[in-house]
Chain A
Amino acid sequence: MANLVGAFCTAHVPLIASRPGVADKKQVDHVMEAFGKIRARMVDLKIDTAIVVGDDHYTMFGPHCLPSMLIGIGDVDGPHEEWLGHERAPIANNPALAEHIMEYGFDHGFDWAVAKALSIDHSTFVPYLKIIKELDDVKMIPVYLAAGVAPLIRPKRCVQLGEMIASAVADYPGDERVAIIGTGGLSHWVGAADMGKVNEEFDHEMIDMIRRRDIDAMLALTDEYVLETAGNGAYEYRNWLVAMAAVKDYDMELLCYEPISPWVTGTTLVEFKFAA
């Protein structure tokens, strides 16, 4: 059977791909070092497939169709956004495993939307660019949640999704070694009047909850509180919940935290090290 052997969460700030240098060099270097640590761990763990959980920012999906959760089972390319400054190019998927996870989901109460061919936005492209693209033969299965555009997926459903994905991987007859990567920023106000503001207090509280794997505390957060305290971008903790829930017991290693106003985001990268 396939094995889920790695779990990480990373920022997906588009400026990482387009203009990282607008931020302080020390902060940028710290983030890039953290991406390097994830790459090294992916090699150590012999990962061959990464399930990357992101959210659309009203670029891929429009008002005519807003999927609550979606899996890309076929051809993948990216980035969708020209302004990221990267030529759109093919990205290797693991279609057999992706289709298995899709079917397993259908059989276990997850009627998710399915993309047979998908152009990914920065939320999964940035982790692809900084982690997967630089490794040999690692494939990527993109998963998208409604964590940026309302109506938002319920956080409890994200927990259930993470648990289901872990079970689906374990149920797969292949010998893949799989990582799950939740993506997104902590506090950030995307396109709002407070854009650029970072709430470090909220960010540290969130990191503590993640460190303790205190899913109940995260589920108790209301959208109103998150919006007021940490901005519309902070809804992305939903993506992180999927990765957290996929690992029953972990020790979190904080790879970096930087409040980067020019990147308009509380930026953090972590690893969930599986408990023995």
Chain B
Amino acid sequence: MSVNTIEKILWEFGDDPSRAKAFLKDPDKYLAQFQLDEEEYRMVRTMDLKAMDEYGVSNLLGMMVWPLLNGNNQLMAFDYLRRMNHGDLPNNFKLPGWQFRMIKLSLAIRNAWVGALCLVGLRKSLN
């Protein structure tokens, strides 16, 4: 039960991506093999990047694992940065204004789409 165990979990995702797939398939079953306290378990189970950062988990690992679990696409780095900034995306990469606004819009659309898919899934499972 420590930041070290979380780092081990994340590092093993990068070292063997089949572990990341096993985690995505059944997170609770996967995490059962590790000693995590309740809050540590929540952080990893929900991939709460900011909480892990504040807990002392290496940012190198958070950044490595995020695309493994969420797909390595053009928006990935911005989505990561937004989560590291409590939902607010700063223009740290100094993009032109129009490009930055497009990225924010794309992220909002994607998140709305993912949210809608989750709602559909939830309704199906309740039925």
Residues of A within 8 A of B (CB): 57-59, 62-64, 83, 148-150, 189-197, 232, 261-262, 264
Contacts and interface: CB of A to CB of B under 8 A. Distances in A.
A262 B93 contact: yes
Interface in B23-64: 50, 53, 58-64
Contact of B84 (A58, A150, A193, A197): A193
Contact of B92 (A63, A149, A196, A232): A196
Given A83-B72, A193-B50, A264-B93, 11 more contacts: A58-B58, A59-B14, A63-B11, A83-B67, A148-B60, A189-B59, A190-B63, A191-B84, A193-B53, A193-B85, A196-B92
A62 B19 CA distance: 15
Contacts of B12: 62
14 contacts: A58-B60, A62-B15, A63-B7, A63-B11, A148-B60, A149-B58, A149-B60, A191-B59, A191-B63, A191-B84, A193-B84, A197-B92, A261-B93, A261-B94
Main secondary structure of the interface of B (DSSP, over half): helix
B18 interface: no
A10 B64 CA distance: 23
B84 A196 contact: no
B58 A262 contact: no
Q: Which of B7, B8, B92: most chain A CB closer than 10 A?
A: B92
Contact of A63 (B4, B53, B81): B4
Interface in B72-100: 72, 80-81, 84-85, 90, 92-95
B92 A194 contact: yes
B62 to A, nearest CB: 5
A195 B84 contact: yes
A57 B4 contact: no
Contact of A190 (B14, B50, B59): B59
Nearest to B11: A62
B79 to A, nearest CB: 12
A64 B12 CA distance: 10
Given A58-B64, A193-B81, A63 B59 contact: no
Contacts of B67: 83
A190 B60 contact: yes
Contacts of B14: 58-59
Contact of A192 (B8, B61, B72, B84): B84
B113 to A, nearest CB: 25
Nearest to B14: A59
B8 A64 contact: yes
A202 to B, nearest CB: 16
A232 B59 contact: yes
A261 B15 CA distance: 28
Contacts of B62: 191
A194 to B, nearest CB: 7
